[in-house]
Amino acid sequence: MPDLADILIYIVTKGLAQTLLMTVLGLLIGFVLGIILALMRVYAGKELNWLASGYEKIFRGIPILVLIYIFAFGVPELFWYVDPLQRPLASIIFALGLRSGAYQSQIFRGAILSVNPGQIEAARALGMSGLQTFRHVVLPQALRLAMPSWSNEYSVVIKDSSFAYAVGIVELTRAAYNFSYAFRGFWTVSIGVLAILYFLLTYPITKLFGEHQTKKLKKLGMGGG
């Protein structure tokens, strides 16, 4: 009879690496995309702004599972350069990343806009160019301001990576499922262990970058008071 430790070890060894890989890459793609989209929304002209805002609306309006199906079965040609065995993984990373980009764009846009305009004026008055002002005054503060919402986005992506089970990737959720399938009668326990595992993966991060960072920002008087 398996005990709790067996269940935990099984789930972690079979699934943790995949879950973290999808989460990290998804967040990374979303970060690059989110920054670009946010810049378009804040600084670019009407057309680019419209484009970015349209992108956000579309990707926020489609369920993640549907996105995964689209990338996995709808447009598999998108991943012609990827080893066929790895294509499902690529498609879910893509889906998580593209959707996270839409949310991260909103996070960064809000953060950029909440940098005090007086400081931007002060930077320009010192003789900084627009780019220097962004690089040395706006961006460092925007990244700090974005952290609490960003940690929330991390917890969304890591949890949504569980949808990867739908295209046959063995990650935490699939591992727990497989385990309970092999040991009938352990369904509740193994899914319970899985739930606690997700909680342990998200709570410390949101605590650290969410609550802790919010307090720190308040101390620095950042974000328009």
Partner 1 sequence: MWKSYEDLQVLKGVSFELAEKEVKVIFGPSGSGKSTLLRCINMLNPPDKGEIFLHGKNITASGVNLNEIRTRIGMVFQHFNLFAHLKAIDNVSIGLRRVKGFSKEEAREKALEALERVKMAEWADHYPAQLSGGQQQRVGIARALSMEPDIILFDEPTSALDPELIGEVLQVMLDIAKAGTTMVVVTHEMGFAKAVATEMIFLSEGAVIERGTPKHFFMKPESERVRKFLKQLEVLYGTHEQMIDLLEEEEK
- Of 132, 182, 207, 208, the residue at the interface with partner 1 (CB under 8 A) is 132
**Residue 122 within binding range of partner 1, rule CB under 8 A:** yes
Q: What is the Cα 121 distance to its own chain's centre?
A: 33
**Residue 213 within binding range of partner 1, rule CB under 8 A:** no
In angstroms, what is the minimal distance from the CB of 182 to partner 1?
Answer: 53
The one segment of 31-39, 57-65, 113-121, 158-166 that binds partner 1 by CB under 8 A: 113-121
**Residue 221 within binding range of partner 1, rule CB under 8 A:** yes
- Which CB sits closer to partner 1, 116 or 178? 116
**Residue 215 within binding range of partner 1, rule CB under 8 A:** no
Between residue 133 and residue 162, which ones bind partner 1 under the rule CB under 8 A? 136-137, 140-141, 144
In angstroms, what is the minimal distance from the CB of 215 to partner 1?
Answer: 13
- Of 14, 124, 159, 212, the residue at the interface with partner 1 (CB under 8 A) is 124
The one segment of 69-77, 80-88, 132-140, 194-202 that binds partner 1 by CB under 8 A: 132-140
3-state SS, the chain, equals CCCHHHHHHHHHHHHHHHHHHHHHHHHHHHHHHHHHHHHHHHHCCHHHHHHHHHHHHHHHHCCHHHHHHHHHHHCHHHHCCCCHHHHHHHHHHHHHHHHHHHHHHHHHHHHHHCCCHHHHHHHHHCCCCHHHHHHHHHHHHHHHHHHHHHHHHHHHHHHHHHHHHHHCCCCHHHHHHHHHHHCCCCHHHHHHHHHHHHHHHHHHHHHHHHHHHHHHHHHHCCCCC
In angstroms, what is the minimal distance from the CB of 149 to partner 1?
Answer: 18
**Residue 112 within binding range of partner 1, rule CB under 8 A:** no
Q: How many CA atoms lie within 13 A of 96 on its CB side?
A: 28
- Which CB sits closer to partner 1, 36 or 128? 128
Residues at the site binding partner 1, with contacts judged by CB under 8 A: 116, 118-119, 121-129, 132, 136-137, 140-141, 144, 219-222
